[in-house]
Amino acid sequence: MALLAVERLRVEFPTRRGLLIAVDDVSFSIAPGEVLGVVGESGAGKSLTGAAIIGLIDRPGRIGAGQVLLDGRRIDNLPPEAMRRVRGREIGAVFQDPLTSLNPLYTIGRQLIETITTHLDMSQAEARRRALDLLAEVGIAAPQRRIDHYPHQFSGGMRQRVVIALALAAKPKLIIADEPTTALDVSIQAQIIALLKRLCRDHGTAVMLITHDMGVIAETADRVAVMYAGRIVEIGPVGDVIHRPQHPYTQGLMGSIPSIVDERDDLAQIDGAMPRLTAIPAGCPFHPRCAYAFDRCRAERPDLMRAGTSLAACWLHASPARIA
Ligand code: SF4
């Protein structure tokens, strides 16, 4: 059974001009211990999908349809208190800015110990020992001394290490990491990604890694979902999506990564920009930018369909109308 199953999820925002649909009919699953990368431009709906899973959509946004199951149990309709318990105990979160997860007024030790004792059956002394172990594990030198320091006494990279320790503190089965390295120096980014990957492998924790950086996905993920205008346009094994992208948007996305273009000489950047939520075109939302668009693309919206080892939402892969 999938650890996480997201089924036909829709996230919507009521506005004076009507309903804006920011995440539209999104379905995917994550197996225990699996790393799923979710990639897309800003505004594609990837962060909102992550926020919907952990019950953190800012009002007036809401889940308009679909469901989220963790270990087969529905979690999208839980009361706030029960959802808070799921967050932390069963799903850990790592956000772009470490200061969103850390309280500046408390020492990191207090925050770790509080998380541990809230979710696990441990005494204060046991929790402190676990906190020290976690700090050592995430690469904080001299944890005995550092545990009593406040967040501002750490550098950005070190703070993100503390957040990862905090996310893992209650032994969750899944971590949702949303742009975990975007706010950090480039030199630190690779270290944090390597750390997250190693820890999750060692602990058997699954990860939903949300990023606009395909390079990060290439190094970390088992599978990748590519989002465009609120929908998943392609999902498949990471190597296949990178080297044999099936959706024209993914092909363009890969074309913008120099290390991948080097291996493939036939790709070009895509002209134009992703549509605003208020102006998503009929049919395939990508059709105004797609070099392969044909009549059906302008009239009918494609669902995900089999395309090699991946699934792609593109009429080029519909059996009777197959062109490519
Ligand atoms: Fe292009 Fe049509 Fe495929 Fe959309 S469905 S990506 S417009 S070929």
Interval 63-78: pLDDT, tens: 999 999 999 999 999 9
Q: Where are the extended beta strands (E) located within the chain? A: 4-15, 18-30, 35-39, 62-70, 73-74, 91-94, 174-178, 206-211, 223-228, 231-237, 305-307, 310-312
Q: Which ligand 1 atom minimizes the distance to the CA of 249?
A: 6
Question: Residue 111 above 90 pLDDT?
Answer: yes
Cα 284 to averaged position of ligand 1 atoms, centre (Å): 6
Query: Which residue has tokens 């550092």?
Result: 146
At 268, the pLDDT band (50, 70, 90 cuts) reads low
pLDDT at 88: 86
Q: Which ligand 1 atom minimizes the distance to the CA of 291?
A: 1
pLDDT at 324: 44
Q: Provide DSSP, 165-202.
A: HHHHTT--SEEEEESTTTTS-HHHHHHHHHHHHHHHHH
Cα 80 to averaged position of ligand 1 atoms, centre (Å): 40
**Rounded CA separation 107/120 (Å):** 20
Backbone phi and psi for residue 205, each to the nearest 5 degrees, phi listed first? -90, 135
**Rounded CA separation 45/50 (Å):** 9
Query: What is the percent of the chain with per-residue pLDDT over 90, rounded to a whole number?
Result: 77
> Measuring from atom 3 of ligand 1, which residue has the nearest CA?
314
pLDDT at 269: 64
pLDDT at 122: 96
Question: Residue 278 above 90 pLDDT?
Answer: no
**Rounded CA separation 264/44 (Å):** 26
Site to probe by mutation for ligand 1, drawn from 246, 284, 301 as the one with most ligand atoms within 8 Å of Cβ, is 284
302 lines ligand 1 (CB under 6 A): yes
Residue type, 110: R
Question: Residue 281 above 70 pLDDT?
Answer: yes
Cα 230 to averaged position of ligand 1 atoms, centre (Å): 16
289 lines ligand 1 (CB under 6 A): no
pLDDT at 273: 85
pLDDT at 258: 64
pLDDT at 207: 96
pLDDT at 245: 96
287 lines ligand 1 (CB under 6 A): yes
> Measuring from atom 5 of ligand 1, which residue has the nearest CA?
314
Task: Supply the pTM of this predicted model.
Answer: 0.92
